[in-house]
Amino acid sequence: MLRFLLILLILLGFGWLVPAAADVTQVRIAGDGAPTRITIWTDVAETADGLVTELPGERKVVLLLAQNGYSAAGEGTGGVEGWSLEPGRLEFSLDRPMAVTRMLRLPPTGKERAYRVILDLDTISPARYTIAARRDTKKLARLETQYAEARADSLKQLAGATVTSGRKSGGGRRHVVVIDPGHGGRDPGAIALAGGKEKDITLKAALALKDVLDADGRYEVRLTRDTDVYVEHEDRVTLARNWGAELFISLHADAAGSASVSGASVYTISARGETRIDREATKNDWKIVMEDGTPDRLNGLLEDLVKRETKTRSAEFAELLLPELSKAGPVLRNTHRNAGFYVLLAPDVPAVLLELGFLTNEADAKRLQSERGRRASVEAIAAAIDDYFDQQDLRLASN
């Protein structure tokens, strides 16, 4: 006897059924089977609809995701036997033929900061299920093929943009790295206990890092400022994009209410910060350039995938940077953090904001204002940059 497959595809971009770019952060199932409710928490907003499809020996609800970076599983209740999460796919095993009777999409509200998709399922007859499934089987196969092609095209495009953005030197490509010394001019930033301003410390560190990278010959290094001037946040991001940056590093020095707090920390874009990207990109004309001939119906999906890949690469660099920083000095506990800093909002440039230490801590302030301490931090950053681009070069070589 045939069992049944109920496929739910998260929508984005085509105007009907395509997978969305979301990380699933929580799953909850409640009910006795008639009905059963599934609640899915995601880190970005989703649009959703249902598609019923039948396959032999299967009975599931499946969510196709553009990207999810981890695996998980859990038990179900009611009409759902259990669920499993894999990169790109969230599956719910059913113990009977069911239909999605209602779907809600809820934005963050009050203390609930995540986005939610709520599915209400109810039991239907095998005959009704089979009719709906037969109608949509071919459509499902076509959508999965379109998604796979779009995903491959977006990765190829992102890699191609990286390849063409740097100048040629000595027969090899030079990677474009943009260093952003925080604050400057009218904005001094934090003030060290024994004197000294954050804007001066970040500028000295940026200039020293540029010297180290320039000596390597592998990089084209740009600074958003090289004197004591203030550069608007949106201009820092715009400069990086105009220069074809493959990596953006904003340097800062932190301050805390307690003088005992010390150590470096690294920030990448938060889920809340991601909600600002499209608005600021439109405001500042930060367009993701598509290859000539890309169908209009794929542009939205490709842009979304480029943004997701940018977020992933930012996190990859942060994770490479942390162990190097720990060799140069103290680091904070839980030192890879997320925030919505404006300089992290470029939709297509991997970016981190690095707090080199705390100027409110005597040891950190002394370390960051000494040539020896500054040199240690700069060499740690340079080593992480080398590791990062080694990985990127290997990816390009394997494509």
Nearest Cα neighbor of 205 from 165, 173, 175, 249 is 249
Q: Which residue has the tokens 């969230």?
A: 90
Residue 68, pLDDT > 70, answer: no
The predicted pLDDT at position 253 comes to 96
Quick check: helix, strand or coil at residue 68?
Answer: coil
The predicted pLDDT at position 57 comes to 61
The predicted pLDDT at position 6 comes to 44
Give the pLDDT confidence of 208-237 residue by residue, as tens digits: 999 999 998 899 999 999 999 999 999 999
Nearest Cα neighbor of 355 from 262, 286, 273, 292 is 262
| 6, 61 Cβ separation under 8 angstroms | yes
The predicted pLDDT at position 114 comes to 79
Taking the C-alpha atoms of residue 255 and residue 360, their distance in angstroms, rounded to an integer, is 5
Give the pLDDT confidence of 6-60 residue by residue, as tens digits: 444 333 333 223 334 456 778 899 887 778 888 888 776 654 444 555 555 677 7
For 142, other C-beta atoms within 10 Å of its C-beta total: 11
Give the pLDDT confidence of 185-210 residue by residue, as tens digits: 999 999 998 789 999 999 999 999 99
Give the pLDDT confidence of 137-165 residue by residue, as tens digits: 666 566 566 656 655 655 555 555 444 43
The single-letter code of the amino acid at 70 is Y
Q: SS3 helix, strand, coil % of the chain, rounded to 5?
A: 40, 30, 30
- Domains along the chain? 5-136 (2.60.40), 156-398 (3.40.630.40)
Mean pLDDT of the chain: 80
Q: What is the mean pLDDT of residues 389-396?
A: 80
Q: Looking at per-residue confidence, does 379 or 292 come out higher?
A: 379
| 306, 291 Cβ separation under 8 angstroms | no
* Vertex 214: Cα angle to 212 and 218 (nearest 5): 110
Residue 242, pLDDT > 70, answer: yes
Taking the C-alpha atoms of residue 231 and residue 236, their distance in angstroms, rounded to an integer, is 7
188 CB-contact burial (10 Å; exposed 0-12 / middle 13-18 / buried 19+):
middle
Poorest-confidence range of 62-71, 173-182, 313-322?
A: 62-71
Residue 106, pLDDT > 60, answer: yes
Nearest Cα neighbor of 241 from 343, 319, 390 is 343
Give the pTM: 0.62
The predicted pLDDT at position 208 comes to 97
The predicted pLDDT at position 268 comes to 95
The single-letter code of the amino acid at 112 is E
